[in-house]
Amino acid sequence: MIRVYFLAAALGASLFGAAPSGEEVFKQRCAGCHEANNPRIPRVEALHRMPAAHILRTLNWGVMGNVAYTMSIAEREAVASYLGTHEAPAAAPPGAYCADRSVRFANVSETKVPPQPQWNGWSPSATNTRYQSPHDAGLTIDGVQHLHLKWAFAYDGDTTAFAQPTIIDGNLFAGSASGVVHALDAKTGCIRWTYDAKGPVRSSILAVRRGKSYSLLFGDQIGWFYSLDAITGKELWKKKVDEHDAARLTGSPVEYEGTVFVPVASWEENRAISADYACCTFRGGVAALRIHDGSQVWRMYTVDVPKQIGKLWGPSGAPIWSTPTIDAARGMLYVTTGDNYSPPATATSDAVLALDLRTGKIAWSKQFTMGDIFSGGCSAQDIQCGPDFDFGSSAILVHYVNRDLLLAGQKSGIVYALDPTRKGEILWQMRVGKGSTNGGVQWGMAADGQNVYAAVSDLSRARVESSNPADLRTANLDPNVGGGLFAIRIIDGTKMWNAEPEHTCPAERPGCSPAQPAAVTVTPGVVFSGSVDGHMRAYSSEDGTILWDFDTAREYSTVNGIKGHGGSIDGPGAVVVGGMVYVNSGYSRQNGTSGNVLLAFGTD
């Protein structure tokens, strides 16, 4: 099918009055570089020969993302339409498709058929432990040491692979930075069907049973939420969850009794870099939708309606980047929040919130960093900025002996244990990293019933001095700073062990760092943690010894015939199902190394 890329007129008319002119946007924002004689920057003549879809992809989540985030959606679509050709994106080669393109699922009504191994959504359970059981993992400690690459799949034209796959009954479902959702055979990587979303899909896909099929639920990076039929890939419904132009759906959804809960974040903090931007009006929150038709059950916002105060608007921000956590026993939905973008600061930023599952009302809130206001426009907007200690990782609900604990890891570098029965009272806390804008715990911890495992980012940059006028890098990653993995006893916060970061960055790899921002995954006896240096490592849960180490930053011959290469590992973690380990490789943001592959490892 042909994607509908160019909604500039409609979006522009509804959000900004007149539709933006692609030519004017190019002159104001792009011409200074693309009309210069720099061999590393394509000239405008070359851009006119590129498909507009490719240009838009690069603006949405490619090498131009840092520049394009100051632009509205309508401006990006308008300039892509002005510059590029309107050719449809190239289809995957015929050899990339399965000989049998049928998607099948086990009949759950057959009690004699044991459930097949699966990994559904961000975590195998709605408590977000990221723990895979022995049955579903199908991987022993000895087996981990014999893992080898079975196949590689390349996302055509992408520079980032950031959508963690879901595996149900041997079917693999994953989004991509280009917005293409793929249904693959989990054993071979061949394609069964594809679907084109409106924007990049970073959200893990949640599969919810619907008769003999499943509804596949996920969000994109421009605020749309979707439901697809898992057998055919056909759209069941889609809904714009938030009308703010900067809204994006990064965290994966969770479901409970026919309702799906969708966390809402934004890239408005990037747009505030522009001094003439009216900072800031986005409000983080959660949307509760009925799974069968997408209708709204309730909508919760983390901050009040912003008001204009001088040239600024506020309060704003407190986005929810991560997957909500369900506490069915107490009827609660736990979410972690980011910082405010503009004053006044609120009590709901950098916090863990407990929401009533039925109504979305805040039952209690526990804030960890007060007054944390941060955006890309701190100096441009004359805002007194805080340390940017968001929560980017989900809260983890665990049961130990005779009590429940709620575990939360923050970019401050501190891991907390809270008492969900006493309004989030802190039971213990432990520092694992220094903390920074890209520091501490970034995308997710894991817990196995005894310990919680926290990987440390603490990503650091250093300025680049170059005599080469074609070298556009102004900063590079420090190859000697960041990283590490901690095992912490759940009951009392005692450090059981910590694995020091590995320093394996070669001098010729500029986007390399030992930082470990990616989400952690745990199976019996094994902890998986990825690094910006491109390595996926498996550690012993007993003492932190490395059992297996694979450097993904290399070129691959792929099953779909597309040129593939790996890079930094950031964002999602390893998915372990049925004796296989699935890993995304490539992350061009934060000065990391680009890549476009999904890798599958096995032992047979």
Q: Can you give the pLDDT at residue 274?
A: 82
Q: What is the identity of the amino acid at 375?
A: S
Helix, strand, or coil (residue 548): strand
The mean pLDDT value for 469-494 works out to 82
579 within a domain of the structure (yes/no): no
Q: Can you give the pLDDT at residue 91?
A: 75
SS (H, E, C) 343-374: CCCCCCCCEEEEEECCCCCEEEEEECCCCCEC
Q: Can you give the pLDDT at residue 50?
A: 65
Residue 367 pLDDT > 90, yes or no?
yes
Is 470 exposed, middle or buried (CB count within 10 Å of its CB: 0-12, 13-18, 19+)? Answer: exposed
Any idea of the CA torsion for 31, 36, 40, 43, to the nearest 10 degrees? 60
Residue 188: CB atoms within 10 Å: 14
Q: What is the CA 220 to chain-centroid distance, rounded?
A: 10
CA distance 583 to 600: 7
Per-residue pLDDT band at 464 (split at 50, 70, 90): low
Residue 60 pLDDT > 80, yes or no?
no
Q: Can you give the pLDDT at residue 224?
A: 97
CA distance 83 to 103: 39
Total domains, the chain = 1
Closest to 484 (Cα-Cα) out of 425, 547, 439: 439
228 within a domain of the structure (yes/no): no
Q: Tell me, yes or no, if the pTM score tops 0.85.
A: yes
DSSP state of 447: E
70 within a domain of the structure (yes/no): yes
Q: What's the N-to-C CA distance of the chain in angstroms? A: 37
Q: Write out the two tokens for 75.
A: 């401006």
Range of the domain at 46: 8-83
Closest to 279 (Cα-Cα) out of 232, 320, 311: 311
439 within a domain of the structure (yes/no): no
Q: Can you give the pLDDT at residue 595?
A: 95
Residue 75: its H or E element: helix 73-83
Please give the residue that has the higher pLDDT: either 459 or 476: 459
Strand order in the sheet with 166-168: 166-168, 171-174, 180-185, 191-196
Is 224 exposed, middle or buried (CB count within 10 Å of its CB: 0-12, 13-18, 19+)? Answer: buried
Per-residue pLDDT band at 457 (split at 50, 70, 90): very high
572 within a domain of the structure (yes/no): no
Q: Can you give the pLDDT at residue 100?
A: 94
The mean pLDDT value for 509-517 works out to 92
Candidate from 92-96, 318-322, 566-570 with smallest mean pLDDT: 92-96
Residue 565 pLDDT > 80, yes or no?
yes
Residue 57 pLDDT > 90, yes or no?
no
Q: Can you give the pLDDT at residue 24?
A: 81
Q: Can you give the pLDDT at residue 25?
A: 80
Q: Write out the two tokens for 599.
A: 């890798």
Residue 528 pLDDT > 80, yes or no?
yes
248 within a domain of the structure (yes/no): no
CA distance 341 to 319: 9
Residue 61 pLDDT > 80, yes or no?
no
Residue 469 pLDDT > 50, yes or no?
no
The mean pLDDT value for 31-37 works out to 72
Per-residue pLDDT band at 108 (split at 50, 70, 90): low
CA distance 38 to 15: 35
Please give the residue that has the higher pLDDT: either 28 or 283: 283
What percentage of the chain has pLDDT greater than the value 70?
89
306 within a domain of the structure (yes/no): no
291 within a domain of the structure (yes/no): no
Is 109 exposed, middle or buried (CB count within 10 Å of its CB: 0-12, 13-18, 19+)? Answer: exposed
Per-residue pLDDT band at 53 (split at 50, 70, 90): confident
pLDDT tens-place string over residues 170-218: 999 999 999 999 999 999 999 999 999 999 999 999 999 999 999 999 9
Check: CB of residue 599 under 8 Å from CB of residue 149.
yes
The mean pLDDT value for 17-42 works out to 72
pLDDT tens-place string over residues 243-257: 999 999 999 999 999
pLDDT tens-place string over residues 428-451: 999 999 999 999 999 999 999 999
Check: CB of residue 289 under 8 Å from CB of residue 87.
no
Per-residue pLDDT band at 13 (split at 50, 70, 90): very low
Residue 202: CB atoms within 10 Å: 24
CA distance 391 to 372: 12
Q: Can you give the pLDDT at residue 492?
A: 96
Check: CB of residue 235 under 8 Å from CB of residue 264.
no
For the domain that residue 23 is a member of, what is the CATH number? Answer: 1.10.760.10
Tell me how many degrees the CA angle 92-59-94 measures, rounded to the nearest 5: 0
Sign (positive/negative) of CA torsion 356, 359, 362, 363? Answer: negative
Check: CB of residue 521 under 8 Å from CB of residue 122.
no
